[in-house]
Amino acid sequence: MSLLAVPVCVVTTRTDGENRGLTASTVTGVSLDPPLVSVAVARSSSCHGALTRAPQFVINVLGDDQRHLATRFSTRDIDRFAGEGVSTLPGTELPVITDAHALYRCTLRQVVPVGDHDLLIGELTDVRLRPEARPLTWYRRAFHRPEQHG
Ligand SMILES: Cc1cc2nc3c(=O)[nH]c(=O)nc-3n(C[C@H](O)[C@H](O)[C@H](O)COP(=O)(O)O)c2cc1C
């Protein structure tokens, strides 16, 4: 699928008093009414248990100035939440990426097994946008910044 250009997101949650998150490019909208999005999470991921248990998660769509966060959130055996670039969604305990291009807060509705991944289906409950940013994209196994955007 290396020729499929996709957005780069960080999916975050908090469960059992711990922040968890991973870089994910499999995010897509799947329904308008109700508003549902999906993300495929590898069953082998260290975040899989938390993301399938937590009642809520956040899809943070990264801006093109945030590729270091995409790298940090796909690196094993580090504290991904240490350092700049992470904050808390006001009024919640949910960790989020500060100044993400878009934030989609979701309530987990379904977990669908698909091969070696689980598809998380979430219902959008809150949307925060930074429309002036440009989205970071993943194409040919590398990060790219779009040259034009509407
Ligand atoms: C651009 C990019 C997109 C990724 N997309 C996904 C994805 O959609 N689902 C997934 O489970 N892992 C995805 N990964 C891999 C995870 O971010 C990473 O392998 C994983 O977090 C490794 O650590 P973990 O086992 O602690 O989760 C992606 C990695 C990169 C760099």
**Mean pLDDT within 139-150:** 83
Q: For a substitution probing ligand 1, which of 22, 136, 144 has the most ligand atoms within 8 Å of its CB?
A: 22
Query: For position 30, what pLDDT does the model report?
Result: 98
For the chain, the maximum distance between any two Cα atoms, rounded to a whole number of angstroms, is: 42
How many domains does one find in the chain?
1
| Nearest-atom index, ligand 1, CA of 48 | 27
Confidence of residue 149 (pLDDT cuts 50, 70, 90): low
**Mean pLDDT within 50-60:** 98
Confidence of residue 17 (pLDDT cuts 50, 70, 90): very high
Query: For position 88, what pLDDT does the model report?
Result: 98
Answer yes or no: is 34 within a domain.
no
**Mean pLDDT within 121-136:** 95
Residue 75 sits in a domain whose CATH number is 2.30.110.10
Taking Cα atoms as reference points, which of 148, 143, 139, 149 lies closest to residue 69? 143
| Nearest-atom index, ligand 1, CA of 8 | 1
Answer yes or no: is 118 within a domain.
no
**Which residue, by CA, sits nearest to atom 5 of ligand 1?**
24
How many A from CA of 41 to the centre of ligand 1?
8
List pocket residues of ligand 1, CB cut-off 6 Å: 8, 22-26, 40-42, 45-47, 70, 74, 76, 138
Whole-model pTM: value is: 0.97
| Structural domain boundaries enclosing 133 | 6-27+44-105+127-144
What is the DSSP annotation of 87-150?
Answer: EE-TTS--EEETT-SEEEEEEEEEEEEETTEEEEEEEEEEEEE-TTS-B-EEETTEEE--S---
Answer yes or no: is 95 within a domain.
yes
Answer yes or no: is 11 within a domain.
yes
**Which residue, by CA, sits nearest to atom 25 of ligand 1?**
45
Query: For position 131, what pLDDT does the model report?
Result: 87
Confidence of residue 115 (pLDDT cuts 50, 70, 90): very high
Confidence of residue 148 (pLDDT cuts 50, 70, 90): low
Q: pLDDT (tens digit, 9 = 90+) per residue, 60-97?
A: 999 999 999 999 999 999 999 999 999 999 999 999 99
Q: For a substitution probing ligand 1, which of 45, 47, 78, 80 has the most ligand atoms within 8 Å of its CB?
A: 45
Confidence of residue 117 (pLDDT cuts 50, 70, 90): very high
Inform me whether the pLDDT recorded for 150 exceeds 60. no
